[in-house]
Amino acid sequence: MGKSKHSESGLARFAGSASSGILELLLFHPVDTVAKRLMSNQSKRVYKFGGQPFVKDYMFNHHKAAFTTVFGEKSGKTMMHATAGSIVGIGEIVLLPLDVLKIKRQTNPDAFRGRGFLAIVKDEGMGLYRGAGWTAFRNAPGSFALFGGSAFVKEYVFSLADYNAASFFQNFCASIGGAVASITVAAPLDVVKTRIQNRHFDDPESGVNIIKNLMKKEGVGAFFKGLTPKLLVVGPKLIFSFTVAQELIPIFHRLFDETPDHGAVKS
């Protein structure tokens, strides 16, 4: 059975994104770390892969003419996917506390000594959103490149009129393009974001100071420090989960809704 040519239901998007996140954890992480990573990783995957299509649908319904006028028919479509991804990426800061706690647990375990999860949330409060501006600044181009890169491959390499009709191989190739672009574009601000978040709770440092110290002590190359390992380690996980999400969402749509909504927008 071919994939639906229509926008998938919200339930299908949630189920497909959640399933891809769980499969990623089971495949790429040891069993003993799956439970620890489940909340943070799963929330981000569901939000990003499940949320972007809703923003994209809104843009197709209300702003398609503007994008087409500015960028043309083909590029306008790609830009709508990319812009929707960027908007969702900025909104991802609502999940920042989960990301902060995960990074601090990995890089600064002493900060958790003698304190449980709820105690840390209570004690730190809004401090868990420290670096939110830098996170949004990093997520905007990163998510733009992820969804834009994927859409670019589908549009210009495979000439797909309906991105949802992509084959597994086409989704896989598109995910490679999106993941590599996203990781590379986000690398400089990822360095800043991580250094903000791995500080001890009682010893915060601003992003501006981190950038100044990086430039002074390590040079411009420091902003791309670890890029190659990240492409080799994070890249496959992102490619896998993005590919699986794009495959599973249409499948869940067919399972949940036997009668397609013919008023939905092609994307």
**pLDDT tens digits, one per residue of 117-148:** 677 777 777 777 877 888 888 899 999 999 99
Q: Which residue has the higher pLDDT, 88 or 261?
A: 88
Whole-number pLDDT of residue 68:
95
Is 154:166 a contact under the CB 8 Å cutoff? yes
Task: Identify the DSSP state of 155.
Answer: I
Tokens (6 digits) for 82: 């990319």
Q: Report the distance separating Cα 206 and Cα 130, nearest Å.
A: 9
Q: Tokens 């702003």, residue?
A: 63
- Amino acid symbol at 242: F
Task: Provide CB contacts within 8 A for 180, sequence distance 6+.
Answer: 149, 231, 235
Range with top average pLDDT, 64-68, 109-113, 125-129, 258-262:
64-68
Whole-number pLDDT of residue 262:
45
Report how far apart, in Å, the C-alpha atoms of 172 and of each of 93, 129, 140, 154 are.
27, 34, 23, 10
- Amino acid symbol at 230: K
**Domains of the chain, CATH where assigned:** 10-256 (1.50.40)
Q: Which residue has the higher pLDDT, 238 or 109?
A: 238
Burial class (CB in 10 A: 0-12, 13-18, 19+), 35: exposed
